[in-house]
């Protein structure tokens, strides 16, 4: 990979986190070299992470010449701007309106699609660390406000939706949660159709900001299919996004970053066992 001249890049992350994978994808497509620092989030966070992100204490954090940048979408935008002249492709559009549209749908992907993807696999993916914050405790019972690998920008109302979905006791409630997930996927399918203008990617003929934003969950889409026999994007309901998942995952820059699906499935099963053991001890 190309370096950034005298620039030193260090990424604090966790290999399975879709938010960390998003940053790795941006670095890969830009052709930038970096030091990959794996955080052992279950065993205690490093001093470097706590110093670099003292507010949220979360990964990912990108250190550029020692200066930290936090939150995955902000990091991707920073990479695109800070390394605009290094020979890698531009991720965000040049047109101001198109940039605004990309940022809007980037937020939608996190607030709806990625979150709902986690809703369907959360007990497998993340070991929950329960908050000591007194945030609406009359509404939340052991609210998992600190989920390692999840961006701290996730809104509270969506975490409330997670609790509602996780506690759903009737088939009707569970069906409603799935209905919302499918509606989000269909909205994104319509956005892809409009933004891509019939081309292979959100960015047109080449990968852009939204491709990297959504591409971070490609491996988890396949893992969820193996775990549950379901897929968020399928050829019947969302044919363009279904094709995008396959097309994006086959790109060399993506294959260099995205984890092996079988390894991800085993990791998810281990997380389930860890969570079950922790629950039995509490």
**Co-location of 209 and 130 in the same domain:** yes
Q: Are residues 212 and 252 in the same domain?
A: yes
Question: Would you say the C-alpha torsion 64, 83, 243, 260 has a positive or negative sign?
Answer: negative
The pLDDT assigned to 78 comes to: 98
114/70 same-domain check: no
Specify the pLDDT at position 164. Answer: 52
Q: What is the CA radius of gyration of the chain?
A: 19
29 falls within a domain: yes
The reply to whether 2 falls in a domain is no
Final residue of a domain: which of 82, 114, 136?
A: 82
Whole-number Å distance between alpha carbons of 131 and 148: 12
Decide: helix, strand or coil at residue 113: helix
Distance CA 25, CA 76 (A): 9
Nearest CA to 135 out of 157, 161, 110, 107 is that of: 157
Query: pLDDT per position in the chain (282 positions), as tens?
Result: 555 457 899 999 999 999 999 999 999 999 999 999 999 877 789 999 999 999 999 999 999 999 999 999 999 999 999 999 888 899 999 999 999 999 999 999 998 888 767 666 654 344 333 222 333 333 333 333 334 444 444 444 444 544 455 455 455 655 666 677 788 899 999 999 999 999 999 999 999 999 999 999 999 999 988 887 778 899 999 999 999 999 999 999 999 999 999 999 998 888 777 767 776 776
Does residue 45 fall inside a structural domain?
A: yes
Rounded Cα gap, residues 24 and 278, in angstroms: 31
Question: Residue 193's domain is classified under what CATH number?
Answer: 1.20.1050.10
Together in a domain, 214 and 260:
yes
Residue 258 lies in a domain: yes
Task: Based on the fold, state whether residues 164 and 70 are members of the same structural domain.
Answer: no
User: What residues have CB less than 8 Å from 202, skipping those under 6 apart?
Assistant: 102, 105, 192, 195, 196, 208, 209, 210, 211, 214
60 three-class SS: coil
The sign of the dihedral angle between the CA atoms of 119, 257, 200, 231 is negative
Same domain? 78 vs 104: no
Residues in the chain: 282
Sheet with 9-13: list strands edge to edge: 35-38, 9-13, 61-64, 67-70
At 237 the pLDDT is 93
pLDDT value for 208 = 98
CA distance 189 to 237: 9
Q: Are residues 67 and 160 in the same domain?
A: no
- Judge if 54 and 194 occupy the same domain: no
Q: Identify whether residues 134 and 267 lie together within a single domain.
A: yes
Q: Do 174 and 259 share a domain, yes or no?
A: yes
* CATH number for 54: 3.40.30.10
Number of domains present in the structure of the chain: 2
Q: Are residues 128 and 262 in the same domain?
A: yes
Last residue of a domain, one of 31, 59, 82: 82
The structure tokens listed for 83 are 């390394």
Cβ pair 216, 19 in contact under 8 A: yes
Helix H or strand E segment including 164: helix 156-166
Look at residue 88 and tell me if it is in a domain.
no
Report how far residue 125's alpha carbon sits from residue 128's, in angstroms, rounded to the nearest whole number.
9
4 assigned to some structural domain: no
- What is the number of other CB atoms lying within 10 angstroms of the CB of residue 55? 7
Output the CA–CA distances (angstroms, integers) from residue 206 to 29, 56, 107, 150, in the order listed: 10, 34, 21, 28
Please indicate, yes or no, whether residues 123 and 158 belong to a single structural domain of this protein. Answer: yes
* Domain around 18: 9-82
Q: What is the pLDDT of residue 142?
A: 36
| pLDDT on residue 181 | 76
Q: How many CB atoms lie within 10 A of CB 236?
A: 6
pLDDT of residue 125: 40
Task: Evaluate whether residue 89 is within a structural domain.
Answer: no
């Amino acid at each position: 990979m190309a370096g950034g001249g005298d620039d030193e890049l260090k990424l604090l992350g966790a290999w399975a986190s879709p938010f960390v994978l998003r940053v790795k994808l941006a670095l890969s497509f830009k052709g930038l070299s970096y030091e990959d620092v794996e955080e052992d989030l279950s065993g205690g966070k490093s001093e470097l992470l706590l110093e670099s992100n003292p507010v949220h204490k979360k990964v990912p954090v990108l250190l550029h010449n020692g200066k930290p940048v936090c939150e995955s979408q902000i990091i991707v935008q920073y990479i695109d701007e800070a390394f605009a002249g290094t020979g890698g492709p531009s991720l965000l559009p040049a047109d101001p309106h198109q940039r605004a549209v990309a940022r809007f749908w980037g937020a939608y992907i996190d607030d709806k699609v990625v979150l709902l993807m986690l809703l369907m696999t959360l007990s497998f993916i993340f070991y929950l660390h329960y908050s000591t914050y007194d945030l609406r405790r009359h509404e939340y019972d052991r609210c998992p406000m600190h989920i390692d690998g999840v961006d701290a920008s996730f809104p509270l109302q969506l975490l409330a939706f997670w609790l509602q979905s996780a506690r759903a006791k009737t088939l009707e409630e569970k069906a409603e949660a799935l209905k919302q997930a499918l509606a989000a996927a269909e909205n994104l399918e319509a956005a892809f159709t409009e933004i891509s203008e019939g081309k292979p990617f959100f960015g047109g003929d080449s990968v852009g900001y939204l491709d990297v934003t959504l591409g971070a969950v490609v491996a988890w889409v396949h893992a969820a299919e193996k775990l549950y026999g379901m897929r968020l994007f399928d050829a019947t309901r969302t044919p363009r996004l279904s094709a995008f998942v396959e097309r994006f995952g086959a790109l060399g820059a993506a294959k260099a970053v995205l984890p092996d699906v079988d390894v991800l499935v085993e990791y998810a099963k281990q997380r389930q066992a860890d969570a079950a053991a922790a629950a039995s001890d509490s």
